[in-house]
Amino acid sequence: MPPVGKKGGRGLQEKTIAAISTALGESAVGMIRISGSEAIAVADRVFCAVSGKPLSSLKGYAAAYGEVKDGERVIDDGVALVFRAPKSYTGEDVVEITLHGGRLLLLEALRLILENGAKPAAPGEFTKRAFLNGKTDLTKAESIMGLISAKSSAELRLSRAAHLGKISKSIAEIEEHLLLLDASIAAFSDYPDEELEGVSPAHFAEHLDFAENALQRMLSSYEAGRVLREGVETAIVGKPNVGKSTVMNLLSGTERSIVTEIPGTTRDVVEESVIAGGVCLRLADTAGIRKTEDAVEAIGVSRAKNRLDTAELVLAVLDASRPLDEDDRALLAALRGRTCLVILNKNDLPEQIDRKDLQGFYTVETSALNGEGYEALCAAIGKITHTAGLDPDSAVLMNERQRACAAKAYESIKEAKNALASGFTTDAVGVCVDDALAALYELTGKRVTNEVAEEIFEHFCVGK
């Protein structure tokens, strides 16, 4: 499969495409985007500016007010914005027609545009064209979906950082070191007996160290970034009556679970999400895990167990005002080795718990009933998920594809270091360095196969 990177045939696409780029619903305005060499001609067939001038007479970045008309029938009035290649989102000629944001209205206008020469845009096709025309690299393109779908401010900041090119910049720095290294290796091979500035195995090692450290930093922040973006599947567990529902209410700030004095009445797994310390916890308030005779409650208990098995983060609630019993100890034993935070609830009452039983666990104290301990709980969650130390405005890899490329580059750099340390020829080091570069080129899309590009953009929404 030939690459579609710079060397592999970027260029203007033939078809002129159109799609509604705003969400379909009821809104003040909605926008239809047309892109391609015929974009302005197509728009001129349906849009009549009040000035009487055709859009083709406008320069780039110019707007005209007018009407979208099907023959004599006016569909709506609005504004057409003209962009001339290459200064547009896609790098092609683009017209964006903004009308009133009615669903039927926009669909009718789009149909008219399609009847007048445009083809319907596939999901992500505008951004794909922007990529193929060199307007954006893959990491910036991939950040767009994050900008659109962000569910927390942290996710938005991560996506914005990627969109501003933070990942691209970090990768470019690594590439620069590796290219310098490649050049030094070539000079070293060509002139082995000359002492050239910056050309020696010690200098090679410096470049490799830089690349290794930078990639390691990126890979280690990936998981925390994923948690900030996607949230973390969380189970709240503990015996009946220790205060799980009350803790959940402390986290969510509302009375969403049934909080009751009678043990065993939180029967089912209640799904909800809360943001705690910037992290979205996909929570489930579970029926108390314990042996039960009640069939209905037993269903809740078995669901709670499943939830506990799959949870990435466990919040184990204990009643600190009572000594631990066998059920508490069994629960703690089952949680050893898991990402788990032990919540010592009811700390408004005298403490009866033996702290020795909690060795090796992260703990935090709350009095959920009085709404106390929220901040400490958030801080502990940030710490345990490693998100507290993550700067959401820095270069944080956004998805598994990017992580896999960075991991491949990292492995190749380690191989290069081994080859250098074991006294292999510089050529062997060079091969590993080129492998690392290839992986980085794939990450940013400098060199990427058609299949990979297709796969990425088909996950976009239509109109983007």
Q: How far is the CB of 113 from ligand GDP (least distance, A)?
A: 57
Among 98, 168, 292, 367, binds ligand GDP (CB under 6 A): 367
**Residue 381: C-alpha distances to residues 231, 249, 389 (Å):** 12, 16, 12
Which residue, 23 or 349, is less far from ligand GDP as judged by CB? Answer: 349
One character per residue 282-321, x = contact with ligand GDP (rule: CB under 6 A): ------x---------------------------------
Q: How far is the CB of 371 from ligand GDP (least distance, A)?
A: 9
Task: Quote the CA–CA distance of 243 and 288 in Å, as a whole number.
Answer: 10
Strand runs (DSSP E) across 306-346, as ranges? 313-319, 340-345
Residue 368 makes contact with ligand GDP by CB under 6 A: yes
C-beta nearest to ligand GDP: residue: 243
Which residue, 368 or 432, is less far from ligand GDP as judged by CB? Answer: 368
**Residue 333: C-alpha distances to residues 148, 329, 340, 366 (Å):** 42, 6, 12, 22
Q: Structure tokens of 357?
A: 């039983």
Q: Which stretch binds ligand GDP (CB under 6 A): 177-185, 255-263, 394-402, 405-413?
A: 255-263
Which residue, 368 or 406, is less far from ligand GDP as judged by CB? Answer: 368
- Helices 138-149 & 450-457, crossing angle to 10 degrees? 10
Size of the site for ligand GDP (CB under 6 A): 20
**Could you tell me if 212 and 406 are in contact, meaning their C-beta atoms sit under 8 angstroms apart?**
no
Cα 271 vs. chain centroid, distance in angstroms? 22
DSSP 15-32: S-EEEE-S-SSEEEEEEE
Q: Structure tokens of 174?
A: 């690594």
Count Cβ neighbours within 10 Å for each residue of 325-338 and write b for 16 or more, e otherwise: eebbeebbebbeee
Q: How far is the CB of 333 from ligand GDP (least distance, A)?
A: 19
Q: How far is the CB of 257 from ligand GDP (least distance, A)?
A: 7
Q: Please report, as residue ranges, which positions from 229 to 248 form the binding site for ligand GDP (by CB under 6 A).
A: 238, 240-246
**Residue 451: C-alpha distances to residues 2, 224, 401, 406, 454 (Å):** 10, 29, 13, 19, 5
Which residue, 378 or 420, is less far from ligand GDP as judged by CB? Answer: 378
Q: How far is the CB of 208 from ligand GDP (least distance, A)?
A: 54
Which residue, 288 or 463, is less far from ligand GDP as judged by CB? Answer: 288
Q: Please report, as residue ranges, which positions from 258 to 287 form the binding site for ligand GDP (by CB under 6 A).
A: 259-261, 266
Residue 345 makes contact with ligand GDP by CB under 6 A: yes
**Residue 351: C-alpha distances to residues 237, 316, 356, 367, 370 (Å):** 20, 17, 13, 12, 16
Which amino acid makes up residue 218? Answer: M
Q: How far is the CB of 243 from ligand GDP (least distance, A)?
A: 3
- List the end-to-end C-alpha distance of the chain, in Å, as a whole number: 26
Among 63, 349, 376, 421, binds ligand GDP (CB under 6 A): 349
**Could you tell me if 320 and 346 are in contact, meaning their C-beta atoms sit under 8 angstroms apart?**
yes
Which residue, 159 or 345, is less far from ligand GDP as judged by CB? Answer: 345
Which residue, 366 or 402, is less far from ligand GDP as judged by CB? Answer: 366
Which residue, 369 or 438, is less far from ligand GDP as judged by CB? Answer: 369
Q: How far is the CB of 220 from ligand GDP (least distance, A)?
A: 36
Residue 117 makes contact with ligand GDP by CB under 6 A: no
Residue 324 makes contact with ligand GDP by CB under 6 A: no
Q: Which stretch binds ligand GDP (CB under 6 A): 12-20, 42-50, 344-352, 398-406?
A: 344-352
Task: Quote the CA–CA distance of 28 and 12 in Å, as a whole number.
Answer: 33
Count the alpha carbons within 13 Å of 314 in the hemisphere toward its beta carbon: 25
Residues that bind ligand GDP (CB under 6 A): 238, 240-246, 259-261, 266, 288, 345-346, 348-349, 367-369
